[in-house]
Amino acid sequence: MIRTVNLSMKYGKFRAVHDLNLQIEAGSVFGFVGPNGAGKSTTMSILATLLAPTSGQAYVDGYDVIQNPEEVRRLIGYMPDFFGVYDNLTAVEYLDFYAGAYNIPVEKRETLIRDLLELVNLSMKADAYVDTLSRGMKQRLGLARCLIHDPKVLILDEPASGLDPRARIEMKEILKELKGMGKTILISSHILPELAEMCDHIGIIEQGQLIAMAPVDQIAAQVAGHRVLRVKLRSRAEDAQALVQDAKGVQSVTLEGKTDLLIAYTGDEEGQVALLSRLVSNGLPVLAFSEEAGNLEEVFLTVTKGVGS
Ligand SMILES: Nc1ncnc2c1ncn2[C@@H]1O[C@H](COP(=O)(O)OP(=O)(O)OP(=O)(O)O)[C@@H](O)[C@H]1O
């Protein structure tokens, strides 16, 4: 649904985005993560047709953002990282203003606006002035605004930034609902664990370059170069350690406490099954055998190495 090919953007001599190749499938929620200044907003502005790249291509649903900006604009809802709201409008008036900008017939607007406010949990604030809304509510109103023309694709630049945990959970729930409606969502943040909760795929960008891209449950493994398997035993953990440490795909085995083995593993699922069989057929009392979810905080720090601020 979204594709960039060697996308590059220079501000003067400074390369903000460099040969970026993104691939985002229809219906997925793609988290675009990177430290401050990594090039996320620049990439999103290009996809939103607001900025022309210096070189490379970007496509939304097959439409080139440079050649066919009008089609792209019809397909996308874009929420920038900062947006103003007009002081002297209520939430309904604010959305009505944008509905007008999208040429939505007057007779359809009332139902549309009511449905959108309900979707973003703002029905109770329909007649409140927008400048009286909390930050979380303003963000949700901004989200309603970019849904007004029922776009297939949402490009959301840091929609959860500055939100408290409760407001973030609400945002996450709304995104889940939008995904359920079949929308493709590109969402950015500089906080990987926060994004991981909302997304099914992650792309990590640093200094304008994509350094990792994978389904969310594989991103830690891709960055670390191995997965971590945890084996919990009732006893004899040291025997188990000796038994598996030379197995195919096993990089290292460490003991955690008296009962758990942590196996750094580069093999495939078949090898994983063989590992478990080896333990069980040798009479070791295995209680549990599972893959550890990678520590996303660690992943992010590893790949971004303190660049940015
Ligand atoms: N109009 C501009 N002129 C010059 N440099 C710019 C301009 N816009 C962005 N940059 C620079 O390009 C780099 C990428 O900025 P961008 O806003 O895309 O990063 P970002 O990943 O969205 O960062 P943040 O998380 O802080 O929003 C930064 O170093 C920034 O200072």
CATH code: domain of residue 236: 3.30.70.100
Same domain membership, residue 140 and residue 11? yes
Q: Which atom of ligand 1 is nearest to the CA of 205?
A: 21
pLDDT for the residue 294:
67
From 5-19, 183-197, 248-262, the region with the lowest mean pLDDT: 183-197
Residue 12, class by beta-carbon neighbours within 10 Å (0-12 exposed, 13-18 middle, 19+ buried)?
exposed
CATH number of the domain bearing residue 74: 3.40.50.300
Could you tell me the two tokens for 61?
Answer: 């649903």
Mean pLDDT over 165-176 rounds to 85
pLDDT of residue 308: 45
CB-based contacts of 271: which residues, under 8 Å, 6+ apart? 247, 248, 249, 265
Is residue 162 one of the residues assigned to a domain? Answer: yes
Pairwise CA distance, residues 296 & 294, whole Å: 6
Q: Would 8 be classed as within a structural domain?
A: yes
Structural domain contains residue 306: no
Report whether 200 contacts 28 (CB < 8 A): yes
Rounded to an integer, the average pLDDT of 87-103 is: 92
Task: Write down which residue in 216, 233, 262 finishes a domain.
Answer: 216
- Is 80 exceeded by the pLDDT of residue 121? yes
Provide the mean pLDDT of the chain.
90
Ligand 1 atom 26, closest CA:
36
Count of structural domains, the chain: 2
User: Of 186, 216, 246, at which residue does a domain stop?
Assistant: 216
Better-scored residue on pLDDT, 271 or 197: 271
- How does residue 309 score in pLDDT terms, banded at 50, 70 and 90? very low
ipTM value of the model?
0.95
Same domain, 108 and 243: no
Q: Which of 192, 216, 240 is the last residue of a domain?
A: 216
Residue 55 pLDDT class (50, 70, 90 cuts)? very high
What is the distance between the alpha carbons of residues 68 and 134, in angstroms, rounded to a whole number?
Answer: 37
Residues with CB under 6 A from ligand 1: 11, 14, 16, 34, 36-42, 81, 190
* pLDDT (mean) for 224-233: 87
| Ligand 1 atom nearest to 42, measured from its CA | 18
Q: 243 with 281, same domain?
A: yes
Q: Are residues 202 and 247 in the same domain?
A: no
User: Going by CA atoms, what residue is nearest to atom 25 of ligand 1?
Assistant: 36
Question: The domain containing residue 26 runs over which residues?
Answer: 2-216
Please give the distance, rounded to the nearest whole angstrom, from the Cα atom of residue 195 to the centre of ligand 1: 20
Provide mean pLDDT across the span 6-22: 95
Listed in sequence order, the residues at least 6 apart from 148 whose beta carbon sits closer than 8 Å to its beta carbon are: 77, 95, 98, 99, 102, 104, 112, 116
Same domain, 128 and 48: yes
CB atoms closer than 10 angstroms to residue 281: 8
Contact of 273 with 290, CB cutoff 8 Å:
no
pLDDT at 305: 63
* Ligand 1 atom with least separation from CA of 44: 18
User: What separation in Å is there between the alpha carbon of 68 and the centre of ligand 1?
Assistant: 25
Q: In this predicted structure, what is the pLDDT of residue 302?
A: 67
Is residue 278 situated within a structural domain? yes
The whole-angstrom distance between residue 133's C-alpha and the CA centroid of its chain comes to 26
Instruction: Say whether both 134 and 65 belong to one domain.
Output: yes
92 and 140 assigned to the same domain: yes
- pLDDT digits 0-9 by tens, 66-89: 999 999 999 999 999 877 767 789
pLDDT-derived band of residue 198, with 50, 70 and 90 as boundaries?
confident
Q: How far apart are CA 252 and CA 291, in angstroms?
A: 15
Residues 150 and 203 in one domain: yes
Over residues 240-244, the mean pLDDT reads 94
Q: The dihedral of CA 127, 129, 130, 134: what is its sign?
A: negative
C-alpha atoms less than 13 angstroms from C-alpha of 179 in its C-beta half-sphere = 17
pLDDT above 70 covers a percentage of the chain that reads 96
Which residue blocks in 76-200 are alpha helix, DSSP H?
Answer: 91-101, 106-119, 135-146, 165-180, 192-196
pTM: 0.82
Q: Which atom of ligand 1 is closest in space to residue 41's alpha carbon? A: 22
- Parallel, antiparallel, or unpaired for β 260-265 and 23-24? unpaired
Query: Mean pLDDT across the stretch 221-238?
Result: 87
Q: Residues 246, 189: one domain?
A: no
The β-bridge partners of 156 are 79, 187
